[in-house]
Structure 1
Amino acid sequence: MKKLSALAVMTILSVALLSCGKDDPVPELDQEVITDVTLTFTEVDGNDDIIGTAMEYNASSDEGIGLGGNVIIDDIDGLEPGKRYLVEITAYNGIANEDITEEIKEEGDEHQFFFLGSAFTGESTILEYAYDDEDEDRNPIGLRGFVTVNENTGNGTSVFNLVLRHDLDKNFEGADNPSWENFVQAGGESDLDIDFDVIF
């Protein structure tokens, strides 16, 4: 009888330990770890030929942007009303020493940038974005595009909200609009969601 009780106790303890292990898994991060993002603006003419000098604006965090820690973000302060700019985005994971830009290109069918915030949406928008790259299915990605500055833009500050979605349905109605505020309806997760201030 005592042996049976000891065996029962051992069985209960084993089950309890196994249950704790199953109920408390190590959390996994689905999003890309991005420590550095650079937006490069270069003025273009009416034929989209480059005529200006490149201007770079950065956002960085040693722990990963959006994963906690201090994020240092440059103000975008070199744009001029009425001008058009080629915009190129690069992303990097300094923790793993990995070029995320290349990964986004290679998995273009799973990634897409959206350009939001008061700079692009609302009643007094100052910027308009147009995609200039696409994945193998001819859907936009957003690593390269053009920004046109409203010629009536006055002095002030607007928000340039940059969002990178992963695993979204690019065929969802509205998903081809770079400034689509309801992008979450297309599903997926955000790998990046960061605000730059645009100052005139």
Structure 2
Amino acid sequence: MKKITSRLAFIAAIAGIITISSCSKDKPTPTPEPAQEEYDAARIQFIALDASGNQTTDTTTVNFGKDGVPSPSHSHLAPGGKYRTLITLFYKGNSINQEIIDEGTEHKFFFIPSVAAGVTNFVYNDKDKDNRGIGLDGTMTIGSGEFDLKIVLRHALDKSKPEAQAWNSPNYTAAGGEDDLNVAFEIHAE
């Protein structure tokens, strides 16, 4: 009887060890990546401003599909001209701009010309709750010549970093985050 009791105790101990060792610790839950805005089309409008800063009816529009190909491939703007610049992102035919505005502290557009004389200034007309620019609505001053303009919407960046301060920061990626939009097109300002 002692042998049976000893064997049962031994079997119970082995079963307990197997049970305890087979339990795994809960794996840490990974931090989810911030959800990026999903879009399937983008529209950029350049509305000419007169000498007093009022909008005219002269509007140049560039459209992009999800593939990032511009239509038309290049746009003609006046050298030295000022333009109200409006960007609209679409998903299934509906604007998703309100999502970008609602999460404004996590979004910022950058406007990076291929040559220094391409775009001489950009002012953000829209701001997040911390009074930092978003870029769906702005005022752009065009230089002269032919140049490419890259427009980037950065998501989940740290807007307080120096690399996120300038509208044309070539080092915007150092502010963190990911691109929601990254398109380029040619401007002729002659």
Q: Is the 8 A contact 2:34 2:156 kept in 1?
A: no
SS of 1:51's partner is strand
Cα distance in 2 for residues equivalent to 1:185 and 1:125: 24
Cα distance in 1 for residues equivalent to 2:178 and 2:65: 20
The structure whose residues are more often strand, as a share, is: 2
Q: In the TM superposition, what is the alpha-carbon distance from 1:99 to its structure 2 partner?
A: 2.3
Q: 1:126 and 2:122 equivalent? A: no
Partner of 1:105: 101
Identical pairs, percent: 32
Q: 1:142 and 2:128 equivalent? A: no
Q: In terms of Rg, which structure is larger? A: 2
Q: 1:116 and 2:116 equivalent? A: no
Q: 1:85 and 2:74 equivalent? A: no
Aligned length: 158
User: For the aligned residues, what is the CA RMSD?
Assistant: 2.4
CA deviation string 1:87-127 (max 9, x = no partner): 00000112xx5422111111111110000131xxx4x4221
Structure 2 alignment gaps of length 5 or more: 1-21, 23-32
Q: In the TM superposition, what is the alpha-carbon distance from 1:78 to its structure 2 partner?
A: 2.8
Partner of 2:156: 167
SS of 2:126's partner is coil
For residues 102 and 80 of structure 1, do their structure 2 counterparts lie closer, same or farther at Cα, with a shift above 3 Å needed? same
Q: Is the 8 A contact 1:43 1:51 kept in 2?
A: yes
CA deviation string 1:147-190 (max 9, x = no partner): 1122xx24xx3111010000110111141210001001111111
Q: In the TM superposition, what is the alpha-carbon distance from 1:72 to its structure 2 partner?
A: 4.8
Partner of 2:56: 51
Give the AA of the match of 1:87.
Answer: T
Cα distance in 2 for residues equivalent to 1:79 and 1:189: 30
TM-score calculated relative to the size of structure 1: 0.71
SS of 1:53's partner is strand
Moved over 4 A (4+): none
Cα distance in 1 for residues equivalent to 2:162 and 2:70: 35
Q: Is the 8 A contact 2:62 2:75 kept in 1?
A: no
Structure 1 alignment gaps of length 5 or more: 1-14, 16-27
For residues 105 and 30 of structure 1, do their structure 2 counterparts lie closer, same or farther at Cα, with a shift above 3 Å needed? closer
